[in-house]
């Protein structure tokens, strides 16, 4: 198995954390890539028309994207439990994955506003609106900390990777001080070997 890799992509990290939790990380080869929203990597596009990472190659020749599909593939082939099979636990895990991914989508758009748009064309109110999605998501988790729980599933992994990305790119938000229940959960969850791991080419 192979994955087009970027060390700062939170969605690549989500896939690698999942592979680590499932015990198959040693079977995943990292491939270099240069994904960019404007200067698009034609080598990625040759396999994924969206031109995005993660793009994943299975041992039997499938090309998979995005992280939701890749993580479910890994879970299914490894016989894991990151995706509960039925009942309320399944719908909660999938909804939490949507929350974590939504936080990441918003944070990435704010990041692109900072680093890819010419300064004279930047729209501070639009950037603030994206980061407000992050804030309202954190407010929701702060008000309902039981949603996080102690389990490692696709929902908690997605939220954990979102918080990792906030630390990487938006340290000025100071989210821990504002949302202590979320910070307390992440302090424990981030110590999992999968979350503490780092990857490079």
Question: What is the set of domains in the chain, with CATH numbers?
Answer: 2-78 (3.40.30.10), 87-193 (1.20.1050.10)
Q: What is the pLDDT, as a whole number, of residue 134? A: 98
Q: In whole angstroms, what is the distance from residue 193 CA to residue 191 CA?
A: 6
Q: Is 145 helix (H, G, I), strand (E, B) or coil?
A: helix
Segments in the chain below pLDDT 70 = none
Q: Of all residues in the chain, what percent carry a pLDDT higher than 90?
A: 98
Q: What pLDDT score does 89 carry?
A: 95
Per-residue model confidence as pLDDT tens digits over 124-164: 999 999 999 999 999 999 999 999 999 999 999 999 999 99
Q: Strand ranges (DSSP E) for the chain?
A: 2-5, 29-32, 56-57, 63-64
- The whole-angstrom separation of Cα 146 and Cα 141 is 8
Q: What share of the chain is helix, strand, coil (3-state, %, to 5)?
A: 60, 5, 35
The gap from C-alpha 152 to its chain's centroid, in whole angstroms, comes to 14
Give the DSSP H/E element, type plus range, for residue 21: helix 10-21
């Amino acid at each position: 198995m192979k994955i087009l890799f970027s060390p700062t992509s939170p969605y690549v990290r989500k896939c690698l954390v999942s592979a680590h939790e499932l015990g198959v990380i040693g079977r995943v080869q990292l491939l270099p890539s240069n994904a960019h929203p404007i200067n698009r990597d034609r080598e990625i596009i040759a396999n994924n028309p969206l031109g995005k990472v993660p793009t994943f190659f299975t041992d039997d020749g499938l090309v998979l994207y995005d992280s939701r599909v890749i993580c479910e593939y890994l879970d299914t082939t490894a016989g894991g439990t990151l995706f509960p099979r039925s009942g309320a636990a399944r719908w909660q895990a999938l909804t939490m994955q949507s929350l974590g991914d939504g936080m990441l989508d918003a944070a990435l758009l704010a990041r692109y506003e900072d680093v890819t748009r010419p300064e004279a064309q930047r729209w501070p109110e639009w950037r603030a609106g994206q980061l407000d999605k992050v804030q309202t998501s954190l407010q929701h988790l702060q008000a309902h900390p039981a949603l996080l729980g102690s389990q490692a599933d696709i929902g908690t992994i997605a939220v954990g990777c979102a918080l990792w990305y906030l630390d990487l790119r938006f340290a000025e938000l100071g989210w821990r001080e504002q949302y202590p229940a979320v910070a307390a959960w992440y302090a424990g969850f981030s110590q999992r070997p999968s979350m503490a791991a780092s990857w490079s080419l």
